[in-house]
Amino acid sequence: MNGALDGFLVGLVLFAGFGYASYSLGPKSWRARLLTSGAVLLGRLPAGWLRGLAGRMAATASRAGSCGGCDNCGSSAAAGTRVSAPEVRVPLAKIGKRR
């Protein structure tokens, strides 16, 4: 292959790796900003399926809650969603000591 093309592909992969690391390890405010700007950029492109992807990215960026999810944790789930199982409580006397 051409040396310039090789260099471009390696640079592109390194840039993608850096972007993923900063998205995963960075503050949540960066995540929301990156998703919002990516959604705006994809929304401007002419392909229809990219607009659908942009809509999903914008919806993900606007989510609230500590995990970035729906903010309906535990038994207070919204109507129509699956409610998690009740909490299991084990008496302290039944828990053995580690050795």
Quickly list H helices, 1-99.
3-25, 28-43, 48-61
| Spans of all domains in the chain | 28-94
Q: Judge if pTM exceeds 0.85.
A: no
Mean pLDDT score of the chain, rounded to an integer? 76
Per-residue model confidence as pLDDT tens digits over 10-25: 999 999 999 888 888 8
CA distances (Å), origin 7, targets 1, 18, 19, 20, 21: 10, 16, 18, 20, 21
Please give the backbone phi and psi of residue 8, each rounded to the nearest 5 degrees, phi first. Answer: -65, -45
Average pLDDT over residues 19-47: 83
